[in-house]
Structure 1
Amino acid sequence: MTDIEQCSLYEKRVKGTFPMPTQEERLAALEKNVTDLRQRTAKAIVEIEENTTIMLGVLRSQGRDIRYIYERLETIEERLDEHTALLKTVDQRLDRLETKVDAVQTTLAQILARLPEKP
Protein backbone atom coordinates (compact mmCIF):
# COMPACT_ATOMS: atom_id res chain seq x y z
CA MET A 1 0.00 0.00 0.00
CA THR A 2 1.39 3.40 -0.92
CA ASP A 3 1.55 6.43 1.31
CA ILE A 4 -1.22 8.05 -0.71
CA GLU A 5 -3.62 5.18 0.01
CA GLN A 6 -2.86 5.42 3.72
CA CYS A 7 -3.66 9.14 3.90
CA SER A 8 -7.01 10.31 5.16
CA LEU A 9 -9.44 12.04 2.84
CA TYR A 10 -8.63 15.38 4.51
CA GLU A 11 -4.92 14.94 3.93
CA LYS A 12 -5.51 14.16 0.28
CA ARG A 13 -7.42 17.42 -0.19
CA VAL A 14 -4.86 19.68 1.44
CA LYS A 15 -1.96 20.54 -0.83
CA GLY A 16 1.44 19.47 0.38
CA THR A 17 0.27 17.38 3.35
CA PHE A 18 1.32 14.01 1.96
CA PRO A 19 4.59 13.07 0.34
CA MET A 20 4.84 12.69 -3.41
CA PRO A 21 5.53 9.06 -4.43
CA THR A 22 9.08 8.42 -5.48
CA GLN A 23 9.98 7.53 -9.02
CA GLU A 24 10.55 3.92 -7.94
CA GLU A 25 7.08 3.76 -6.37
CA ARG A 26 5.51 5.25 -9.48
CA LEU A 27 7.42 2.81 -11.68
CA ALA A 28 6.41 -0.13 -9.47
CA ALA A 29 2.75 0.93 -9.66
CA LEU A 30 3.00 1.26 -13.43
CA GLU A 31 4.65 -2.15 -13.74
CA LYS A 32 1.93 -3.67 -11.57
CA ASN A 33 -0.75 -2.10 -13.78
CA VAL A 34 0.97 -3.35 -16.93
CA THR A 35 1.27 -6.85 -15.44
CA ASP A 36 -2.42 -6.85 -14.50
CA LEU A 37 -3.34 -5.64 -17.98
CA ARG A 38 -1.21 -8.36 -19.59
CA GLN A 39 -2.85 -11.03 -17.43
CA ARG A 40 -6.35 -9.82 -18.28
CA THR A 41 -5.42 -9.58 -21.95
CA ALA A 42 -3.94 -13.09 -21.92
CA LYS A 43 -7.12 -14.47 -20.31
CA ALA A 44 -9.26 -12.68 -22.89
CA ILE A 45 -7.12 -14.04 -25.73
CA VAL A 46 -7.41 -17.59 -24.37
CA GLU A 47 -11.18 -17.19 -24.10
CA ILE A 48 -11.39 -15.84 -27.66
CA GLU A 49 -9.28 -18.76 -28.92
CA GLU A 50 -11.53 -21.26 -27.12
CA ASN A 51 -14.65 -19.65 -28.54
CA THR A 52 -13.10 -19.59 -32.01
CA THR A 53 -12.30 -23.30 -31.75
CA ILE A 54 -15.86 -24.04 -30.66
CA MET A 55 -17.28 -21.96 -33.51
CA LEU A 56 -15.06 -23.76 -36.05
CA GLY A 57 -16.40 -27.08 -34.79
CA VAL A 58 -19.97 -25.85 -35.03
CA LEU A 59 -19.39 -24.50 -38.55
CA ARG A 60 -17.86 -27.78 -39.73
CA SER A 61 -20.78 -29.69 -38.27
CA GLN A 62 -23.27 -27.37 -39.95
CA GLY A 63 -21.36 -27.71 -43.22
CA ARG A 64 -21.76 -31.50 -43.04
CA ASP A 65 -25.44 -31.08 -42.21
CA ILE A 66 -25.94 -28.74 -45.17
CA ARG A 67 -24.21 -31.19 -47.54
CA TYR A 68 -26.41 -34.01 -46.24
CA ILE A 69 -29.56 -31.91 -46.70
CA TYR A 70 -28.45 -30.95 -50.22
CA GLU A 71 -27.91 -34.63 -51.11
CA ARG A 72 -31.32 -35.54 -49.71
CA LEU A 73 -32.94 -32.73 -51.70
CA GLU A 74 -31.33 -34.05 -54.88
CA THR A 75 -32.70 -37.52 -54.11
CA ILE A 76 -36.16 -36.07 -53.48
CA GLU A 77 -36.00 -34.12 -56.74
CA GLU A 78 -35.05 -37.29 -58.66
CA ARG A 79 -37.93 -39.20 -57.09
CA LEU A 80 -40.36 -36.39 -57.87
CA ASP A 81 -39.22 -36.45 -61.50
CA GLU A 82 -39.81 -40.23 -61.58
CA HIS A 83 -43.28 -39.84 -60.06
CA THR A 84 -44.11 -37.04 -62.48
CA ALA A 85 -43.20 -39.31 -65.40
CA LEU A 86 -45.35 -42.11 -63.93
CA LEU A 87 -48.28 -39.73 -63.48
CA LYS A 88 -48.00 -38.65 -67.12
CA THR A 89 -48.14 -42.32 -68.17
CA VAL A 90 -51.19 -42.90 -65.96
CA ASP A 91 -52.87 -39.79 -67.40
CA GLN A 92 -52.27 -41.06 -70.94
CA ARG A 93 -53.72 -44.46 -70.07
CA LEU A 94 -56.76 -42.84 -68.46
CA ASP A 95 -57.30 -40.70 -71.57
CA ARG A 96 -57.22 -43.84 -73.75
CA LEU A 97 -59.63 -45.62 -71.39
CA GLU A 98 -62.02 -42.66 -71.47
CA THR A 99 -61.94 -42.75 -75.26
CA LYS A 100 -62.72 -46.49 -75.23
CA VAL A 101 -65.52 -46.03 -72.69
CA ASP A 102 -67.01 -43.26 -74.83
CA ALA A 103 -66.88 -45.57 -77.87
CA VAL A 104 -68.51 -48.40 -75.90
CA GLN A 105 -71.25 -46.05 -74.67
CA THR A 106 -71.90 -44.86 -78.23
CA THR A 107 -72.12 -48.46 -79.48
CA LEU A 108 -74.38 -49.42 -76.59
CA ALA A 109 -76.65 -46.47 -77.30
CA GLN A 110 -76.91 -47.56 -80.95
CA ILE A 111 -77.73 -51.14 -79.95
CA LEU A 112 -80.36 -49.98 -77.48
CA ALA A 113 -81.87 -47.75 -80.14
CA ARG A 114 -82.34 -50.76 -82.47
CA LEU A 115 -83.99 -52.95 -79.87
CA PRO A 116 -87.76 -52.91 -79.78
CA GLU A 117 -89.43 -51.31 -76.85
CA LYS A 118 -90.86 -53.49 -74.11
CA PRO A 119 -94.53 -54.39 -74.52
Structure 2
Amino acid sequence: MQEGNNYSPGLHKLLTLEVLDLDSTTNLEAFENFAIELIKKNNLEIVGTSKHTFDSNGFTAAICLMESHICIHTWPEFNQLTLDIYLCNYLKDNSDKVEILSEAFKTYFKARVLNETNVYR
Protein backbone atom coordinates (compact mmCIF):
# COMPACT_ATOMS: atom_id res chain seq x y z
CA MET A 1 0.00 0.00 0.00
CA GLN A 2 1.33 3.43 -0.89
CA GLU A 3 2.16 5.91 1.84
CA GLY A 4 -0.68 8.37 2.33
CA ASN A 5 -3.30 5.95 0.98
CA ASN A 6 -6.33 6.22 3.29
CA TYR A 7 -8.21 3.26 1.78
CA SER A 8 -10.09 1.13 4.32
CA PRO A 9 -11.83 -2.04 3.06
CA GLY A 10 -14.61 -1.90 5.65
CA LEU A 11 -16.11 -3.21 8.87
CA HIS A 12 -15.80 -6.84 9.95
CA LYS A 13 -18.25 -7.66 12.77
CA LEU A 14 -17.95 -10.78 14.92
CA LEU A 15 -20.89 -11.65 17.17
CA THR A 16 -21.68 -14.27 19.78
CA LEU A 17 -25.39 -14.27 20.51
CA GLU A 18 -27.63 -15.87 23.09
CA VAL A 19 -30.69 -16.97 21.14
CA LEU A 20 -34.15 -16.68 22.67
CA ASP A 21 -35.92 -18.28 19.68
CA LEU A 22 -34.34 -21.75 19.88
CA ASP A 23 -36.19 -23.03 16.80
CA SER A 24 -34.32 -20.48 14.69
CA THR A 25 -31.00 -22.18 15.56
CA THR A 26 -32.16 -25.45 13.96
CA ASN A 27 -34.00 -24.20 10.88
CA LEU A 28 -31.33 -23.73 8.23
CA GLU A 29 -33.86 -23.30 5.42
CA ALA A 30 -35.65 -20.44 7.20
CA PHE A 31 -32.31 -18.77 7.97
CA GLU A 32 -31.24 -19.09 4.33
CA ASN A 33 -34.51 -17.56 3.09
CA PHE A 34 -34.23 -14.68 5.55
CA ALA A 35 -30.55 -14.06 4.73
CA ILE A 36 -31.12 -14.13 0.96
CA GLU A 37 -33.94 -11.57 1.21
CA LEU A 38 -31.81 -9.38 3.49
CA ILE A 39 -28.88 -9.61 1.08
CA LYS A 40 -31.07 -8.65 -1.88
CA LYS A 41 -32.70 -5.80 0.05
CA ASN A 42 -29.25 -4.34 0.74
CA ASN A 43 -28.08 -4.67 -2.89
CA LEU A 44 -25.40 -7.25 -2.15
CA GLU A 45 -24.51 -10.09 -4.49
CA ILE A 46 -24.19 -13.77 -3.59
CA VAL A 47 -21.40 -15.63 -5.40
CA GLY A 48 -21.65 -18.95 -3.55
CA THR A 49 -22.85 -20.77 -0.44
CA SER A 50 -21.84 -23.73 1.69
CA LYS A 51 -23.92 -25.23 4.49
CA HIS A 52 -24.21 -28.20 6.80
CA THR A 53 -26.68 -29.41 9.45
CA PHE A 54 -25.23 -31.26 12.45
CA ASP A 55 -26.67 -34.19 14.45
CA SER A 56 -27.80 -31.67 17.12
CA ASN A 57 -29.77 -29.93 14.31
CA GLY A 58 -27.51 -26.91 14.69
CA PHE A 59 -26.11 -25.64 11.43
CA THR A 60 -23.23 -23.83 9.86
CA ALA A 61 -23.43 -21.75 6.71
CA ALA A 62 -21.11 -19.53 4.72
CA ILE A 63 -22.56 -17.11 2.22
CA CYS A 64 -19.84 -15.76 -0.02
CA LEU A 65 -20.66 -12.34 -1.37
CA MET A 66 -19.06 -10.24 -4.05
CA GLU A 67 -18.52 -7.82 -1.13
CA SER A 68 -17.07 -10.60 1.14
CA HIS A 69 -19.12 -12.91 3.43
CA ILE A 70 -21.66 -13.80 6.09
CA CYS A 71 -20.90 -16.90 8.19
CA ILE A 72 -22.93 -18.47 10.97
CA HIS A 73 -22.59 -21.42 13.33
CA THR A 74 -25.43 -22.33 15.70
CA TRP A 75 -25.34 -24.30 18.96
CA PRO A 76 -28.98 -25.04 19.90
CA GLU A 77 -27.79 -27.14 22.84
CA PHE A 78 -26.29 -23.94 24.35
CA ASN A 79 -28.85 -21.41 22.96
CA GLN A 80 -26.01 -19.66 21.16
CA LEU A 81 -24.64 -18.81 17.76
CA THR A 82 -21.66 -17.06 16.28
CA LEU A 83 -22.04 -14.72 13.34
CA ASP A 84 -19.35 -13.18 11.16
CA ILE A 85 -20.28 -10.34 8.78
CA TYR A 86 -17.72 -8.62 6.57
CA LEU A 87 -18.48 -6.32 3.67
CA CYS A 88 -15.66 -4.67 1.81
CA ASN A 89 -15.72 -2.60 -1.34
CA TYR A 90 -13.01 -0.68 -3.15
CA LEU A 91 -15.42 2.08 -4.18
CA LYS A 92 -17.26 2.82 -0.93
CA ASP A 93 -17.47 1.99 2.76
CA ASN A 94 -20.19 -0.59 3.50
CA SER A 95 -19.93 -0.33 7.29
CA ASP A 96 -23.51 0.95 7.50
CA LYS A 97 -24.75 -2.19 5.73
CA VAL A 98 -22.80 -4.39 8.17
CA GLU A 99 -24.65 -2.67 11.02
CA ILE A 100 -28.01 -3.08 9.24
CA LEU A 101 -27.39 -6.80 8.66
CA SER A 102 -26.20 -7.28 12.23
CA GLU A 103 -29.33 -5.68 13.70
CA ALA A 104 -31.59 -7.66 11.36
CA PHE A 105 -29.99 -10.96 12.39
CA LYS A 106 -30.24 -10.06 16.10
CA THR A 107 -33.94 -9.38 15.61
CA TYR A 108 -34.47 -12.54 13.54
CA PHE A 109 -32.95 -14.73 16.26
CA LYS A 110 -34.51 -12.71 19.10
CA ALA A 111 -30.97 -12.62 20.41
CA ARG A 112 -29.01 -10.95 23.15
CA VAL A 113 -25.39 -10.00 22.45
CA LEU A 114 -22.87 -11.92 24.53
CA ASN A 115 -19.84 -10.63 22.65
CA GLU A 116 -19.43 -8.16 19.79
CA THR A 117 -16.16 -7.26 18.14
CA ASN A 118 -15.77 -4.66 15.41
CA VAL A 119 -12.65 -4.91 13.29
CA TYR A 120 -12.05 -1.97 10.97
CA ARG A 121 -9.98 -3.34 8.13
The alignment's TM-score, normalised by the length of structure 1, stands at 0.17
Q: Relative contact order (C-alpha < 8 Å, sep 6+): which is higher?
A: 2
The alignment's TM-score, normalised by the length of structure 2, stands at 0.17
Whose radius of gyration is greater, 1 or 2?
1
